[in-house]
A = this chain, B = another copy of it.
Amino acid sequence: MAVPTGDRHLVEQVLSGEELLHGSFLRVRRDTVRLPDGGQTTREYVVHNGAVMVVALIDGPDGLQVVMERQYRHPIGKVVVEFPAGKRDGSEDLLLSAQRELREETGFVASEWAHAGVLHPLVAYSTEFIDLWFARGLVAGPRQLDAGEFLDVITVSPADLLQWCRDGRVTDGKTVAAALWVQNLVSGAWVLDWQTDGAASAAG
């Protein structure tokens, strides 16, 4: 079945909008939209500034490993195994965000970076996008966790990561999505465009 090129039968037009909530962390808006059939409805959603996620690769004596975190996530009341990720600061460059999050949360600085893609974690009610980066050529250093941030850094083989996605030990959506990238990079089916980070190389 071909994908239709005209989307006018799907697209909604914003008629008006208001802020419903401006919390310490969450902002929520409600927009009134015109539906494709001319009707109206409201859409409520979280307004988010965007985030980054980093899959950092270590090619060491135990073979290839990825750097992951174990972090308690209050909304689901569980310790979650996930890739390092965090919010972009203001209009910060996304590669700089990725480098900052990796360094702050895990202590690692990487000499090579590759952009993989973009994810939208919750299209139904959040504007959030997550920019996915891969990193290699890691040098360990001190962590600089934010206040109120507590997490373990662990390293996991791609085989274990995939097994954990399969058996439910990994349920974090962004992390399972990134595991698709890990699987296809390890198999050689997908290839990344690695770029040397000048600052990290000069420091190394």
Binding site for B on A (CB under 8 A): 1, 3-4, 7, 9-12, 14, 20-21, 23-26, 28, 30-31, 33, 35-37, 39, 41-46, 70-76, 79-82, 117-130, 147-148, 150-155, 162, 165-166, 168, 171-174, 176-177, 179-180, 183-184, 190
Contact = CB atoms under 8 A, between A and B. Distances in A.
A154 B1 CA distance: 6
Given A75-B127, A76-B123, A171-B117, A28 B28 contact: yes
User: How many copies are assembled?
Assistant: 2
Nearest to A51: B124
By secondary structure, the A interface counts as: mixed
A57 to B, nearest CB: 15
Given A11-B79, A75-B45, A26 B176 contact: no
A26 B41 contact: no
Contacts of A41: 147-148
